[in-house]
Amino acid sequence: MVSGGPRLGQIEPRERVGAQTGRKYEYQYERTARATLELLADGPKHICVYCDWHDDYVIEIGDPPTRYEFHQVKGRKSSQGPWTFSEFFGVLKKKAKAPSKKPAAVKVGAIVPLMLLHHTNFNDNCAGLAFVTNAGLDPALSGFLQTISGADNETALPEEAHIAFEHLARAYTAADPKIAPSAANLFAWLRGLKVHTDQGQLEDADAALLELADVVVEFSEIELLQRQAKQIAREIVNQVRVKVGHSTTVVPTSDDQLRRDKGIVITELLGVLSLSAQAYEQLKAGEGRDTVKNLSRLQRFCLKHGMEDSLVHICEFKARWDIWRTIERHFLKNADYVLLERKAHEVLKGGLTIERIVAEAKDIAKQFAGLTVTPLTPEHIMGLIFSLAAQSEARSDT
């Protein structure tokens, strides 16, 4: 699919506030930091998280040409209660069947109207919108959104929701400038809107930091004391703060320049976690999963056995093994594969030096020569050995 629409660096944001202080701003930075930690996960294909550029944070996703998910973050004190329909959309929820004499005026500063600008500005490059808050939604609002997400189009809405939607669409299409070009566009946009409630802590700064610290440990599996994990969480939040504070980006700018100015990419997180970015790139070239966890496990293994200088090559070997295994495993007899793993395990049990592992890998490769279309090289065997080493370092096994 070819993506259409302007890139993030081609349009000037509606405002450039810069870094601010206070818990509401810290809450925004913390939720942005939490989003950057998703870069450590293999599942979502996150490329970069932009800080306070066109929205509180924007996640760049997918293969080139990439697209953007825009996130609006709003902290709210518990004494204020849940978000209401009017606060969210800027108009009251209409219940009467008869249409009003004229379209309702949309309240300035409402949440959704500002978010919908991203669809207008970025067209197909807008992959979606999300609202992130520590609070909840009023039942009238949450029920309306659930009904919208479950309907195929606006005509399929039940009567109560249809009345409310028609009133909303009339207000948005009559605004100057228009907030939505048509009721059909508005329905499609609202149907794709994500709302994340009860996220993070606004009124307890220490609890907010602990949440981030736990995610750091979960995603990276680095062995950390709580104090160390909290310090890493602080550093990631500070990275966000620095990016938010950057104010000299000249528009239009390239994707690469905007990432440097306003974005956080995985190599920056690896630096905070004291993990090798070069070794990460080698592992990422393979077909394995849990790349960051495997990197931290292998780094831990290498430190224990005096192999720190070989980490990048070890990660390269593991990546080669992952690719070989993906291609050839189903063509190798099960008994042969079990024997291959058993011999690799035996190497791990012996005196572990690079020299011994290289020698053993050469012998094993000779024993299994000719069994597969893709030759099984000593490098593949070393990758298998270090793959098993990573498994032995898994936190659940320690």
Q: From CA 343, how far away is CA 380, in angstroms rounded?
A: 13
Q: Would residue 167 count as lying in a domain?
A: no
**Cα separation of 25 and 323, whole Å?**
45
d(CA 335, CA 225): 43
Flag whether 308 is in a domain.
yes
pLDDT at res. 160: 96
Distance, CA of 46 to CA of 288 (rounded, Å)? 17
DSSP class per residue in 338-366: HHHHHHHHHHHHS---HHHHHHHHHHHHH
Q: Is residue 217 part of a domain?
A: no
Contact 374, 324 (CB under 8 A): yes
Verify cis geometry, omega within 30 degrees of 0, for the bond prior to 139: no
Residue 140 maps to a domain: no
Encoded amino acid at 271, one letter:
G
Q: What pLDDT is recorded for position 398? A: 43
Give me the number of domains the chain comprises.
1
Count of beta carbons in the 10 Å neighbourhood of residue 340: 21
Q: Which residue has the tokens 């890493």?
A: 232
Backbone phi, psi, residue 56, to 5°: -60, -45
The conformation of residue 107, written as its DSSP 8-state character, comes to P
> Is the separation of the CB atoms in 390 and 298 below 8 Å?
yes
**Tens-digit pLDDT string for the chain (398 aa):** 445 899 999 999 988 877 777 899 999 999 999 999 999 987 668 899 999 999 999 999 998 889 999 999 999 999 999 999 999 999 999 999 998 899 999 999 999 999 999 999 999 999 999 999 999 999 999 999 999 999 999 999 999 999 999 999 999 999 999 999 999 999 999 999 999 999 999 999 999 999 999 999 998 888 888 889 999 999 999 999 999 999 999 999 999 999 999 999 999 999 999 999 999 999 989 878 889 999 999 999 999 999 999 999 999 999 999 999 988 877 888 898 899 999 999 998 887 788 999 999 999 999 998 888 888 999 999 999 999 999 988 854 44
Structure tokens at 35: 């989003």
Closest to 343 measured CA to CA, from 314, 369, 363? 363
pTM of the model: 0.90
Q: Would 154 be classed as within a structural domain?
A: no
Domain residues for the domain of 339 are: 277-397
Can you tell me the distance from the alpha carbon of 13 to that of 372, in angstroms, rounded to the nearest whole number?
56
Write the Ramachandran bin of 21: left for phi over 0, alpha for psi from -120 to 50, otherwise beta: beta
Give the pLDDT of residue 44.
62
Model pLDDT, residue 3 = 55
Q: In whole angstroms, what separates CA 88 from the centre of its chain? A: 25
Q: d(Cα 70, Cα 54) in Å, to the nearest integer?
A: 8
The verdict on residue 204 lying in a domain is: no
Residue 145: CB atoms within 10 A of its CB come to: 20
- C-alpha atoms less than 13 angstroms from C-alpha of 270 in its C-beta half-sphere: 20
Which residue has tokens 């998910």? Answer: 69
The 3-class secondary structure across 127-181, one letter per residue, is EEEEEEECCCECHHHHHHHHHHHHCCCHHHCCHHHHHHHHHHHHHHHHCCCCCCC
Q: How far, in Å, are 8, 20, 167 from residue 241 at the CA level?
A: 20, 8, 40
Q: Is residue 141 part of a domain?
A: no
Is residue 335, in this structure, part of any structural domain at all?
yes
